[in-house]
Amino acid sequence: MAHVPVLMDEVIKFLDPKKNENFIDCTLGDGGHSAELLRRTAPNGKVLGFDLDSEAVKVVRKNLEAFGSRLIVRNESYANLAKAVAEENFGAADGVLTDFGFSSPQLEERGRGFSFQRDEPLDMSYSTAADHLTAAEIVNTWTKDEITRVIAEFGEEHLAERIAAKIVSARHHKHIISTVQLVDVIKAAVPKNYEHGRIHPATRTFQALRIAVNGELDSVNAVLPQALAALKPGGRLVCISFHSLEDRIVKSFFKEMSVKRKIEILTPKPVTATEKEIQNNPRSRSAKLRAALVK
């Protein structure tokens, strides 16, 4: 399943790429946003791109091989943006795109337990390094209080304590190593009419575990000031978030930098997907885009 880049028209509108300009793409995915940026910045514009997923890096290098050395790929977290810019002698960028989502193949094809709709190992890490933290480690070894905090804080789940208690109880009988096992535990912990069927009972817990495993909010906090520092005057920062925790961080950062007169906010309210895009790509429903211009 190919990854469909979200809010493509809006990204291009706010980044406004021109001939020979250079951009940074903090989450390459399958390369959709970067490919469009490279097309619009021909013949000599470059994109410095990041992805923590080594499999995604292989895919994007193949997908975008026609652009040759104009695409510089880093198989690491975008939290290392400043270090990468220095090592690549990339110079000041005309725009930075931070897309805090994860690609459809990571969800659908790579067997890492991101989806509660498939029976897969309970991993949830973007990294393929041997020593990475996994969701299975969290649910099987962390204390009830630690699991409660993760589910409440990162999943904004009001039944976090009940779910954590059921997880701790269940693991005493058998280690929870698959997505199906965890879903069954969560269902047993919540009322039958949970949220009146508006969302799957496991939605918020799975989100919370994914965020915890990958340190996502720490990375968002880390990359924003680095992205701003990497931009030249008149450069543009575009951020796409997929849940309220990320969007809150971006909104707060933009407000603080605006007060300090370092940026001009281009999106007083977050930009969301059109109905047409949502129909074509349902995952775009939760996307929110904020953009700013560096002074």
pLDDT at position 44: 98
Instruction: Give the pLDDT band (50/70/90) at residue 128.
Output: confident
Q: What's this model's pTM, rounded to 2 decimal places?
A: 0.90
Res. 150: pLDDT tops 50: yes
Q: Mean pLDDT across the chain, nearest whole number?
A: 93
DSSP the chain: -----TTHHHHHHHH---TT--EEES--TTSHHHHHHHHHTTTT--EEEE-S-HHHHHHHHHHTGGGGGGEEEE-S-GGGHHHHHHHTT--SEEEEEEE-S--HHHHHTS-SS--TTS--BS---S---TT---HHHHHHHS-HHHHHHHHHHHH--TTHHHHHHHHHHHHHHS---BHHHHHHHHHHHS-TTGGGGSS-TTHHHHHHHHHHHHTHHHHHHHHHHHHHHTEEEEEEEEEEESSHHHHHHHHHHHHHHHHTTSEEES-SS-B---HHHHHH-GGGGG-EEEEEEE-
pLDDT at position 130: 72
Res. 104: pLDDT tops 90: no
pLDDT at position 3: 58
pLDDT at position 282: 87
Least confident of 20-24, 167-171, 193-197, 201-205: 193-197
Mean pLDDT of 14-35: 95
Instruction: Give the pLDDT band (50/70/90) at residue 52.
Output: confident
Percent of the chain whose predicted confidence (pLDDT) is above 70: 96
Res. 272: pLDDT tops 70: yes
Instruction: Give the pLDDT band (50/70/90) at residue 56.
Output: confident
For 178-226, write each residue's pLDDT tens digit: 999 999 999 999 999 897 788 899 999 999 999 999 999 999 999 999 9
Domains located in the chain, CATH noted: 8-105+216-294 (3.40.50.150), 110-214 (1.10.150.170)
pLDDT at position 283: 82
Res. 2: pLDDT tops 60: no
pLDDT at position 1: 43
